[in-house]
């Protein structure tokens, strides 16, 4: 569920930001550096930043929401804990999607846009029939990377919530480490990690096969063909 | 005068260092996990075969039986 939510937010948001970024001039470098900043921060530091940021007593986010009269406490409320983790992951990793999409967008030759202008294509048509097909390959990489990463997420939730409140944010990876290192049940932990690995491998294979077969169909029949 | 290229598979030797590195960094730890997943121990570095018992225990099969 966490991976699904992450993909549903980060992929469209990443495309939108990449489309809004400037294509030439000094502002390109500024935007790229700003986008790369969250990716440069180690995962445990990101967790610590958001742990402090979300605290009601001293954190900017927690204290700000409390002063607005919103009952927010990620250490006691399951929904708040989930929202904090999703927000943190979106802040941390949308940049990767943006940078990948941006690299795909800037590699599109100008002639495509000129042809679209001559045909009087709308902004949506340009996106649907020129930009989206051209960034599909990098988007596939982005989806795969984000899926694998979000499915294996461990450090950030461990630092922010420690799997709580209760077991609400105990993801598979946290459960696995507790089993292997906490209880020292190496056999079940090894079996669980293998199943975990096979699930990730299987889902990635399905993603890749579906997206590349759709791509091949389009190459054979033209865009939009069913 | 055309240059006759000799076709062979010797180039595979060029990727040998990478294959060895991948074997050490990925396959050997993975096989260690596979090994643990089909064995049990009571300590003293003595292991005995349990087959698919751990897999049954952590999946629905364990809950049913």
pLDDT of residue A25: 85
Q: Domain ranges for chain A, please list them.
A: 2-221
- Give A-chain residues touching B55 at CB under 8 angstroms: 191, 194-195
Q: How close B20 comes to chain A (CA, Å)? A: 22
pLDDT of residue A87: 92
pLDDT at B52 > cutoff 90: no
pLDDT in single tens digits along all 226 residues of chain A: 888 889 899 899 999 999 998 888 888 899 999 999 999 999 899 999 999 998 888 888 888 988 898 888 888 888 888 999 999 999 999 999 999 999 999 989 989 989 999 988 888 999 888 899 888 888 888 988 898 888 888 888 888 888 878 888 888 888 888 888 888 888 889 999 999 899 889 988 988 888 788 767 766 665 544 4
Contact criterion met (CB < 8 Å) for A195 and B33? no
Distance CA A103, CA A18 (A): 9
- Residue B39 parent element (H or E): strand B39-41
| Residue bearing tokens 């999703």 | A86
Contact criterion met (CB < 8 Å) for A190 and B34? yes
Chain B, 7-46: which have a CB under 8 Å from a chain A CB? 30, 33-37, 39-41
pLDDT of residue A225: 46
Q: State yes or no: cis peptide before A165, omega within 30 of 0.
A: yes
| Contact present, A164 and A75 (Cβ < 8 Å) | yes
**Any B CB within 8 A of A188 CB:** yes
Contact criterion met (CB < 8 Å) for B36 and A187? yes
- Give A-chain residues touching B50 at CB under 8 angstroms: 187
The domain over range A2-221 is classified in CATH as 1.10.3720.10? yes
Tell me which residue in B37, B41, B57 faces A194 most closely, judged by beta carbons. B37
Tell me which residue in B33, B39, B57 faces A194 most closely, judged by beta carbons. B33
Distance CA B46, CA A2 (A): 40
Per-residue pLDDT, averaged over B29-55, amounts to 87
**Any B CB within 8 A of A195 CB:** yes
Distance CA B63, CA A77 (A): 30
- Give B-chain residues touching A188 at CB under 8 angstroms: 54, 57-58
Per-residue pLDDT, averaged over B12-29, amounts to 90
Q: How close A184 comes to chain B (CA, Å)? A: 11
pLDDT of residue A204: 86
- Give A-chain residues touching B40 at CB under 8 angstroms: 187
* Chain centre distance of CA A133: 20
* Chain centre distance of CA A86: 9
């Amino acid at each position: 569920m966490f991976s699904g939510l992450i993909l549903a937010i980060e992929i469209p948001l990443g495309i939108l930001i990449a489309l809004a970024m400037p294509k030439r001039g000094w502002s390109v470098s500024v935007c790229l550096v700003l986008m790369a900043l969250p990716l440069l921060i180690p995962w445990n530091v990101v967790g610590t930043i958001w742990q402090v940021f979300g605290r009601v007593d001293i954190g900017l986010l927690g204290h700000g929401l409390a002063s607005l009269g919103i009952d927010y406490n990620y250490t006691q409320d399951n929904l708040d804990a989930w929202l904090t983790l999703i927000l943190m992951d979106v802040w941390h990793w949308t940049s990767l999607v943006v940078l990948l999409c941006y690299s795909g967008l800037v590699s599109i030759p100008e002639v495509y846009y000129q042809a679209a202008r001559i045909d009087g294509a709308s902004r949506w048509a340009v996106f649907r029939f020129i930009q989206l097909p051209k960034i599909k390959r990098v988007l596939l990489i982005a989806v795969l990377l984000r899926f694998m990463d979000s499915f294996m997420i461990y450090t950030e939730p461990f630092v922010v919530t420690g799997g709580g409140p209760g077991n609400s944010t105990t993801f598979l990876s946290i459960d696995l480490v507790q089993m292997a290192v906490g209880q020292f049940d190496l056999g079940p932990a090894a079996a669980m990690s293998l199943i975990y690995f096979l699930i990730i491998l299987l889902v990635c294979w399905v993603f890749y096969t579906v997206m590349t077969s759709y791509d091949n169909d389009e190459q054979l029949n033209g865009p939009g063909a069913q | 005068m055309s240059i006759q290229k000799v076709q062979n598979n010797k180039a595979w030797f060029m990727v040998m260092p990478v294959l060895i590195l991948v074997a050490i960094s990925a396959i050997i730890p993975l096989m260690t996990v596979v090994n643990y997943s089909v064995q049990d121990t009571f300590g003293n570095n003595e292991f005995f075969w349990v087959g698919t018992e751990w897999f049954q225990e952590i999946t629905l099969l364990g809950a049913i039986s």
